[in-house]
Amino acid sequence: MIMYVPRLIALELMIKQVGFSLIEMAIVLVIVGLLLGGSLVPLSAQMERSRRSETSQILKNTIDAIYGYAFDNGRFPCPDDPLNSGDGVEDRTGVDCSVLSGNLPWVTLGSTRTDAWGQNIIYRMTNNFADTTDGTGCGTPTAGVSFELCSAGDIQILDGSPGGNPVAVNIPAVIISQGKNWAISTSTDEAENTDADGIFVSKQYTNTAGSEFDDLIVWIAPTILKSRMVSAGRLP
């Protein structure tokens, strides 16, 4: 019987060692879990910033595409009516646009269809800047140009809804990404950007419940548009 004692002692030591290793492993797993859990929020925030930055560049490129289209054609493109075909081609009825607000006509412009979240970009314009009639009746029309130096857009940008302060007025066209929460927000400010009227909201990003705002909105400034049209030789 004496010869088995060392073996029993050795076995007991092995069990103790294995038990200690399991405890250590459990502690390590807990620490790793805490570290991973703590990094999820910063990672999510980084992804959000990255997508917002990418979308901002997409919208900037879209503005440039609309300027280029206006230089070549003397007018803005009409929106793509999502209730019609949603094929990315501008929709027109006679000399006027079929709708004032719709999807960006990405095929007509040769631009990007969606934002960084994969959602269609919204485009709202003033018909007087996109119809095929020369001028808007406020001055001497220029042949082949839908608008004049005295033409004014019918879009207004506010810093809140309802009754916010004006940020920009007489805007001929606006382009919008509804951001990450496009389908779930109950914010009145974001609702203002999807009701197809001529009033829009542009304000700082916030994720406060009930007043979320992560829309990205850009617009064509009438003074810059007309200055560039003159420089391009399209307006006198």
Question: In the prediction, which pLDDT does 208 show?
Answer: 84
- Under 8 Å between Cβ of 80 and 88: yes
Omega before 222 within 30 of 0, i.e. cis: no
Task: At 36, give phi and psi (nearest 5°).
Answer: -65, -40
pLDDT, position 5: 52
Q: What number of H helices and E strands is found in the chain?
A: 4, 9
Average pLDDT of adjacent 10-residue blocks, the chain of 236 residues? 51 52 69 60 80 97 97 97 91 96 97 96 97 95 97 96 93 96 81 93 89 94 96 95
pTM of the predicted protein model: 0.80
Q: What integer pLDDT is reported at residue 16 of this predicted model?
A: 53
Residue ranges covered by each domain of the chain: 2-231
Rounded to whole angstroms, the Cα distance separating 220 from 76 reads: 11
How crowded is residue 109: how many other Cβ atoms within 10 Å of its Cβ? 22
Can you point out the beta strands (E) in the chain? Answer: 92-93, 96-97, 101-103, 122-125, 155-158, 166-171, 173-177, 199-201, 216-220
Q: Is 197 exposed, middle or buried (0-12, 13-18, 19+ CB in 10 A)?
A: middle
At residue 60, the pLDDT reads 97
Helix (H/G/I), strand (E/B), else coil: 57: helix
Q: Is 158 helix (H, G, I), strand (E, B) or coil?
A: strand
Residue 161 has a CB neighbour count (10 Å cut-off) of 18
